[in-house]
A and B are shown apart, each in its own frame.
Chain A
Amino acid sequence: SYTVYCFHLEEERHVRANDRDYNEKFPYADNHIKTCKYNVFTFLPVNLFEQFQRAANAYFLVLLILQLIPEISSLSWVTTTVPLVMVLLITAVKDATDDYFRYKSDQQVNSRQSQVLRGNLQNEKWMNVRVGDIIKLENNHFVTADILLLSSSEPYGLCYIETAELDGETNLKVRQALTVTSDLGADITKLADFNGEVICEPPNNKLDKFTGTLYWRDNKYPLDNEKMLLRGCVLRNTEWCFGMVVFAGLQTKLMQNCGRTKFKRTSIDKLMNTLVLWIFGFLVCMGVILAIGNTIWEQKVGRSFSVYLLWDEPIRNNNVVFSGFLTFWSYIIILNTMVPISLYVSVEVIRLGHSYFINWDRKMYYIQKDTPAEARTTTLNEELGQVEFIFSDKTGTLTQNIMVFNKCSINGKSYGDVYDEFGHKVEITERTACVDFSFNPLSDRKFKFHDSSLLEAIKMEEPSVQDFFRLLALCHTVMPEEKNEGDLVYQAQSPDEGALVTAARNFGFVFRSRTPETVTLYEMGTAVNYQLLAILDFNNVRKRMSVIVRNPAGHIKLYCKGADTIIFDRLDPSNHVLMNTTSEHLYEFAGEGLRTLALAYKDLDENVLEEWMKRLLYASTVIENREEGLADLYEEIETGLMLLGATAVEDKLQEGVPETIACLTLANIKIWVLTGDKLETAMNIGYSCNMLRDDMNEVFIISGHSVLEVQQQLRSAKEHILGLGRVSGTVDVEKTDDFSEDSVFEETIIAEYALIINGHSLAHALEPELEQVLLETACLCKTVICCRVTPMQKAQVVELVKTNKMAVTLAIGDGANDVSMIKTAHIGVGISGQEGMQAVLASDYSFAQFRYLQRLLLVHGRWSYFRMCNFLFYFFYKNFAFTLVHFWFGFFCGFSAQIGLDTYYWTAVNHVFVWGSLAVYFAILFAMHSDGLFSIFPSHFPFIGTARNCLTQKSVWLVIMLTTVACVMPGLAVRFLKTDLYPTLTDKVRSLQQASRKLGPKEQNLRRVRRTSSRRSAYAFSHQQGYGELITSGKNMKVTPSTAAPSPSLSPSSPGRVHNSRSLIEGMSKRKGETPVACVSAEAYGTSGTSEGNTRTQQTVMDSNVVSNGAVQT
């Protein structure tokens, strides 16, 4: 019954592990990926079919057929065949090579190796992996398909993945297998016997959602996204893991997210098509006129001339109408040069040339990565000059995704700036001398710091500086990895944290290793063991995290880092002066667009701590309001802090991003940022890119959770912008009436607004009834940032603008999560030179740096557009001039469709030498008129001697000259009047340039884009909760012989730890919707699911509060 059922539409997926026969009953896709269109046999028919679907090609095919009829044809059929065949051939070759490369890349992916369990482990190509197979993945390998995690090398079936290709986030994510399956371990026989059946949702494109159930040994286990490894992820920090394939090949979530490749056309293409249609209509009109003329002429004159034309008596004498009919077709053939096939060829050739200019441009070549720009699609160049909307990814596109510890303020002294001998601040460039960390064998070579006074302070053993870095080395949730002695790699949950710990490492406080209850530092070369008593983890409300440690001397200290406002509230009053200085420094840092963080510590008394720990233990066992209880306890101990200083981390933007954005904004191009990242990080980048500024009138943040809320927020934002009362009535009315009015009004809004919208709100806002409001509001704002969006939503946003605004859109991104939007936009740009290639492969243009966008759009786009338009102008002009001669001549030659000029060579010139240079023209002319050619084809080239004899006539040259003058002068006059009376911006600039050139070189004053921002403490926002528990539980520690002895759950060395590990399990289960009891009824699953939903809702509500507070503050 299943088979019958599944042939219709898959509504539920049944997969049984290690049971091919069962799984093959269903039409599930295998892991073979095919993106190419043709194969060897289908290429010719399919490609030809596609090509003849183009109007031009079909038109010329019809012409060709007409020309084969001798009664009609006045031109030899060769004149159409040769160009048509050429066009078809060129296109076919291009299509074939494109497809071949697609085939190659498919092949490459398909033949990657993976280990499949078939009784024992076998190496198999990716394409041979089937749904239901159990496969083994190894560290740093790409995940083969969408698989259900069964077991891994890490304890508790944990497994780390990087999802950069999927959503652009580079921090590690944790996945955990079900306990029952993680017990299978690496035991091949057990795994081979595993016969669980997964029943789950059908293939879809939701990357963050998965629902299913595992049936095994008569039990049911709920499955969610936390147990899935999706294709496109990379396994990190995990030796190996086993998984069962659930979705394969084209049905994986990654592939489902890849929008369909559409054939992209430029607006000039469309214009050209309309023009061609009009011209064709005109052609038909002329044909009709000439045909009528022929009928009349035959009636009146031709009849008597028949003495010399003996044949076709019936036509001549009886049926002049039929003669007219034939003439009509003849003239269609003769005048076809008005709609020249060479137009399309020439346009393609010009575009190809432009593409080469883009490839050749040194100013778009990135020397560090040896990456030149590449025009992957050659047909869109002139569209580049028309872009109105840019949709940009954030991570890897605007930013380098590198966090750099840039400055700090310790004990009231600011470090990080470099001063010259006169005490002036020096601009830090590539050449500025770096601090030498060679004293420290464990330092990270890539780390650069320019202010040597900080190192001197360390070497002077200033206690505050030491404590500052000690805090950085202790208070975090980073996991160290030391493959070889001294070769430390930090796996940080957020790049900020990694940057801070790396800074401490270089300044001599090396975080070396950790166990659940200890942290080992190498302080200036000596190993120091700290006992980790508690981690007071980060969350969005607290905006801070703390650790409580006992140092070898037995002193207990609490180290805290967090948002400055939060920390300042909890300081001991004695810090007042220091707080003021630090605050000043913080303003300075924030003004430079750095992410700041305040650091503080507190000495704890043993007894106080012990008492607090007990209460903590109690609080964590309470079932009701546990979160609040814990938060209160944390709050209690994090008071009376002593301020240490502040850090400033730079989320390194790519070079020249703010300048580029400023420049593109000047060009009236709207830039929207679409990112999978968090709201706060996105906003921070917005500020550092100068897209958001403090002097903006209002920053609207849409973070509603229901359609109504979102609608309400959007409309109030719109009302605010337009002024009250303008937005009234229902949505439907607006759609029709107000829209046009608004778009006029749009221009007049001087105030600057920004709109920031969250992923789940966006999902509502993109629904049909709200999308118009969204679009209108968004278009009224200077800056639009969408965060936490899925790849599909990115594409939807692009689509929304594309269809409703009639504007040319451009999407730029670097990761696989940007592929769909790159494909949807009119123009897709990929950032190349990085690891992932998906974005580049899907893109139309690729280069290494965001800033090259400026040159691509404003230089290449503009030039291409200009040149293309000029070309079209002259092309049509030329063809009209050339063809209308035949029309004129028709009145003299009895409308007999005789050509007045020999056009053979002209066709050739058109096709081969587009720009029709005179030299080529005459060369061909003489060649065609040469003796040799004539003697070979006397009847095809009867023009021998014509050129020679005509061009020696002086009157011919006089006529040519007169014609030239007559043609040039009116145009020149019009253009002169235009520039003189209504100069364009370009003309103004040029006249300015000329004037300034006359005045001589003047000093250029380059204005630096100065960022002003009072936003701070972005770190706190970019962090996620949950890692603290993971660390103290020891769950994520590798079970090595040395650490295995004090097994986390068995050795309660401190009271806090016991509580922690227990609360963790409960906490985790709560968050992940999995109850410790393995067997769960469907109802139970449902409720836990909703509770999960609730917590998430709460959290986001808080988010929005926080952010709106922030907005109010700014």
Chain B
Amino acid sequence: MGKAKANAGPLARRPDNSAFKQQRLPAWSPMLTAQTVLPFFYGMAIVCVLLGAWLLVTVQNTHELKVDYTHAGSCDKCFEKRKDRANANQSCNCTVVFNIENMFKGDVFFYYGLINFHQNLRQYMDSRDDGQMIGRNKNLRNPSSYCEPFIKDKNGLPIAPCGAVANSMFNDSFTLVYHSAAGSRVVPLFRKGITWYTDKNVKFRNPQVENKTLTLAQVFEGTGQPLYWQKPVYDLDPWDRNNNGFINEDLIVWMREAAFPNFKKLYGVLNRAIEPFTDGLPAGNYSVLISYNFPVEYFQGRKEVVLSTVSWFGGQNNFLPVAYLVTGCLILLLAVILTAVWWKFGKNGRNMEE
């Protein structure tokens, strides 16, 4: 328009003859005739049903095993112990035994699950400082006010990591043991590689300091550990020095808050390099040794261990296949109704006549 105006001459103000300006762009607005709509409905119904069936078969081939250990087996005593806050510093170990009937083929994932734990409360979710987690020195010493009241420890030192989320970090630890005829052996788990790449490498960073020779403990000097923690943040993983500080993978997993009150979080992945786990978890008897620390009795919560294999579209989840099947059936029903209606009333096109 502006260009057209610049031109002088008798037709200077004539609008451009472009398809857009004259609203002549190609448009598609299908007539909803029986010939097009009914086949589409039948087609969609078939697609949905087939997809649903396929998904169902896939889901049937995945395995999932949940073991609630809140006060199962020998954990009963630990549960009682954790009822009293005064015993918080005493360790408590227990064992839960279970049996796998069919072999878990392929990659097996080890989760811990919490029931009725509201990680999705607004005040709870807000209570963290992402600036601190990304390693900003300013935030390390001066955490955001959102962390209130988990911002300073009783010595007045700033807490790292601050806030309610980090403070309530799940601190049970597990050892999975396989009992076969050949004897008992610990199931090897990868405890790393359980986070998103972006979380591990971008979202969580240890504080940057000029002096590269400083140890992590020195970097975090002048900060306090969260009130409920037994170890400082730079000492979370005693076996791997590089898995400490804010980039500790268990911490990262915990810090990604679950959307629902019942959730499971990844703890480890089966290491299939070692016999007899190359094909997955063989059937047989297993036990989990649990370092039982996390109290759940205050909020009527429960804790569980989840073992699961995954298919191409995720873990064992019956919702999607069922939903597809139901949708497909509904569409089919609708299609039949439409056909009937069309057959009875609209077939000869007499409604179209003037």
Stretch of B61-69, B273-281, B337-345 that contacts chain A: B337-345
From A174-182, A567-575, A893-901, give the one contacting chain B: A893-901
Q: Is A426 an interface residue (CB 8 A)?
A: no
Chain A residues lying within 8 Å of B199, measured Cβ to Cβ, are 944-945
0 or 1 for each of A894-932: is its CB under 8 Å from B? (1 = yes):
101110100000000000000000000000000000010
Stretch from B9-17, B98-106, B231-239 at the A interface: B9-17
Query: Which listed residue (A359, A896, A945) contacts B121, Cβ 8 A?
Result: A896
Q: Which one of A311, A371, A972 lies within 8 Å of B148 (CB-CB)?
A: A311
Q: Chain B nearest CB: distance from A550 CB in Å? A: 51
- Asked if B250 is an interface residue, CB under 8 A from chain A, the answer is no
B30-55 contact mask (Cβ, 8 Å, vs A): 1 or 0: 01111001001100100010010001
- Segment touching B, from A124-132, A429-437, A935-943: A935-943
Instruction: Give bound CA distance, A931 to B134, whole Å.
Output: 11
Nearest-Cβ distance from residue B13 to partner chain A, whole angstroms: 5
Asked if B131 and A938 make an inter-chain contact with CB atoms under 8 angstroms apart, the answer reads: yes
Contact of B13 among A372, A889, A988 (CB under 8 A): A372
A979 to B342, CA, bound (A): 11
- With an 8 A cutoff between CB atoms, is B312 at the interface? yes
1/0 per position for A876-906, CB-CB distance to B under 8 A? 0000000000000100111011101000000
Known: A307-B298, A954-B314. A973 touches B124 (CB 8 A): no
> CB within 8 A of B133: which of A74, A372, A938, A976?
A938
Any A CB within 8 A of the CB of B198: yes
Q: Which residues of A contact B121 (CB under 8 A)?
A: 302, 305, 309, 893-894, 896, 898
Kindly name the residue among A311, A372, A945, A983 whose own CB sees the greatest number of chain B CB atoms within 10 A. A945
- A308-B164, A945-B197 known; A360+B351 contact, CB < 8 A: no
Digitize A277-313: 1 where CB-to-B-CB distance is under 8 Å, 0 elsewhere.
Answer: 0000000000000000000000001101101111110
Q: Closest CB of chain B to A957's CB: distance in Å? A: 9
Please name all residues of chain A whose beta carbon is closer than 8 Å to the beta carbon of B334 when the two chains form the complex: 969-970, 973
Q: Which stretch in A49-57, A362-370, A593-601, A1060-1068 binds the other chain?
A: A362-370
A980 and B342 contacting across the interface, CB-CB below 8 Å: yes
Which A residues are in CB contact (< 8 Å) with B342?
980
Any A CB within 8 A of the CB of B259: yes
Bound-state Cα–Cα, A304 to B198, Å: 35
Decide yes or no: A958 and B122 within 8 Å by CB, A372-B14, A979-B32, A981-B341 being known contacts: no
User: What is the bound-complex CA distance between A808 and B295, given in angstroms?
Assistant: 70
CB of A1042 within 8 Å of the partner chain: no
Q: Among A402-410, A702-710, A959-967, A1045-1053, which stretch is in contact with chain B?
A: A959-967
When chains A and B are docked, how far (Å) is the Cα of A898 from the Cα of B353? 56
Cβ–Cβ contact A945 & B196, under 8 A = yes
* B21 adjacent to chain A (CB < 8 Å): yes
Complex CA gap A1085/B23 in Å reads: 66
CB-CB < 8 A to B116: which residues of A? 301
Q: Does B155 contact A (CB under 8 A)?
A: no
Interface centre among A310, A312, A953, A990 (most CB of B within 10 A): A310
The answer to whether the Cβ of B182 comes within 8 Å of any Cβ in the partner chain is no
A372 x B202 contact (CB < 8 A): no
The one of B41, B122, B124, B198 in contact with A948, judged by C-beta atoms closer than 8 angstroms, is B198
Is the pair A939, B144 in contact by a Cβ cutoff of 8 Å?
A: yes
Let me know if B48 and A359 touch, CB within 8 A: no
Instruction: Say how far A945's CB is from chain B's closest CB, in angstroms.
Output: 3
Known contacts A360-B1, A361-B15; is A305 also within 8 Å of B299 by CB? yes
- Mark interface residues in A669-702 (1 if CB within 8 Å of B CB, else 0): 0000000000000000000000000000000000
Closest A residue to B123 by CB, please name it: A309
Residues of A within 8 A of B174 (CB): none
Q: Quick check: is B220 within 8 A (CB to CB) of the other chain?
A: no
Q: Would B55 and A958 count as touching, CB distance under 8 A?
A: yes
Q: Are B320 and A962 in contact (CB under 8 A)?
A: yes
Closest to B85 in A: A307
Contact A945 B48 (CB under 8 A): no
- B190 interface residue per 8 A CB criterion: no
| Chain A minimum-CB-distance residue to B15 | A360
Judge if B243 is at the interface, Cβ distance under 8 Å: no
Cβ-based interface call for A152 (8 A): no
**What is the minimal beta-carbon distance from B27 to any residue of chain A, in angstroms?**
11
Chain B, residue nearest A982 (CB): B351
Closest to B345 in A: A981
CB distance from B201 to the nearest CB of A (A): 9
Complex interface bits, A1000-1034 against B, C-beta within 8 A gives 1, otherwise 0: 00000000000000000000000000000000000
Q: Is B118's CB within 8 Å of the partner chain A?
A: yes
Chain B interface size, as a band, is 35 or more
Check A370 against B130 for contact (C-beta < 8 Å). no
Bound-state CA distance A942–B165 (Å) is: 14
Listed residue (B55, B134, B317, B352) with the most chain A CB atoms within 10 angstroms of its CB? B352
Whether B327 is near chain A, meaning CB under 8 Å from some CB there, is yes
A520-546 interface code vs B (CB 8 A; 1 in, 0 out): 000000000000000000000000000
A357 interface residue, CB < 8 Å from B? Answer: yes
For A978, give the chain B residue with the smallest CB separation: B32
Assess whether A955 is in contact with B345, with CB atoms less than 8 Å apart. Answer: no
CB–CB A898/B44 < 8 A:
no
Between A938, A955, A959, the greatest number of chain B beta carbons within 10 A of the residue's beta carbon is seen for A938
- Measured between beta carbons, the chain B residues less than 8 angstroms from A949 are 196, 198
**Quick one: which of A900, A966, A970, A980 contacts B346, CB cutoff 8 A?**
A980
Q: Which residue of the partner chain, among A304, A330, A360, A976, contacts B338 with CB atoms under 8 Å?
A: A976
Q: Which parts of A150-209 form the interface with B (CB within 8 Å)?
A: none
A958 touches B203 (CB 8 A): no
Bound-state CA distance A307–B118 (Å) is: 12
Please give the distance in Å from B323's CB to the nearest CB on chain A.
6
Q: How far is the CA of A977 from the CA of B127 in the complex (A)?
A: 53
User: How far is B12's CA from A969's CA once the two chains are assembled, in angstroms?
Assistant: 50
B28 CB within 8 Å of chain A: no
Establish whether residues B202 and A898, one from each chain, have CB atoms under 8 Å apart when the complex forms: no
Q: Check A934 against B203 for contact (C-beta < 8 Å).
A: yes
Q: Quick one: CB contact mask for B202-215 with A, threshold 8 Å, 1 for yes?
A: 11000000000000
Indicate if the CB atoms of A953 and B259 lie closer than 8 Å. no
A954–B314 CA distance with the chains assembled, in angstroms: 7
* Nearest A residue to B134, CB-CB: A938
Contact assessment for A893 and B122 in the assembled complex, using a CB-CB cutoff below 8 Å? yes
Q: Is the CB of B352 within 8 A of A955?
A: no
| B235–chain A nearest beta-carbon distance, Å | 22
Interface centre among B15, B21, B202 (most CB of A within 10 A): B15
A939 to B130, CA, bound (A): 5
Tell whether B300 is near chain A: CB-to-CB under 8 Å: yes
Contact B164 A309 (CB under 8 A): yes
CA distance A931 to B351 in the complex (A): 59
Indicate if A1105 sits at the interface (CB-CB under 8 A): no
- Who on chain A is nearest to B201 by CB? A931
Given A892-B260, A896-B122, A939-B144, also A980-B345 (CB < 8 A) = yes
**Which residues of B are interface residues toward A (Cβ below 8 A)?**
1, 10-17, 21-23, 31-34, 37, 40-41, 44, 48, 51, 55, 116, 118, 120-125, 127, 129-131, 133-134, 136, 144, 146, 148-150, 164, 167-168, 196-199, 202-203, 259-261, 295, 298-300, 312-314, 317, 320, 323-324, 327, 330-331, 334, 338, 341-342, 345-346, 349, 351-354
Could you give 19 example pairs across A and B, Cβ below 8 Å? A304-B298, A307-B299, A310-B150, A361-B21, A898-B121, A935-B202, A954-B314, A955-B314, A959-B320, A965-B331, A969-B331, A972-B40, A973-B338, A976-B338, A980-B33, A980-B345, A981-B351, A987-B352, A991-B349
Of all A-B residue pairs in the complex, the 7 with the closest CB atoms, nearest first, are A945-B198, A898-B122, A360-B21, A893-B120, A980-B346, A938-B130, A954-B313
Interface residues of A (CB under 8 A from B): 74, 301-302, 304-305, 307-312, 330, 356-357, 359-363, 365, 367, 370-372, 863, 889, 892-894, 896-898, 900, 931, 934-935, 938-939, 942, 944-945, 948-949, 953-955, 958-959, 962, 965-966, 969-970, 972-973, 975-977, 979-983, 987-988, 990-992, 994
A935-B134, A949-B196 provided; 10 other pairs, C-beta below 8 A? A308-B168, A309-B124, A365-B15, A935-B202, A958-B51, A969-B331, A972-B37, A980-B345, A981-B346, A982-B351
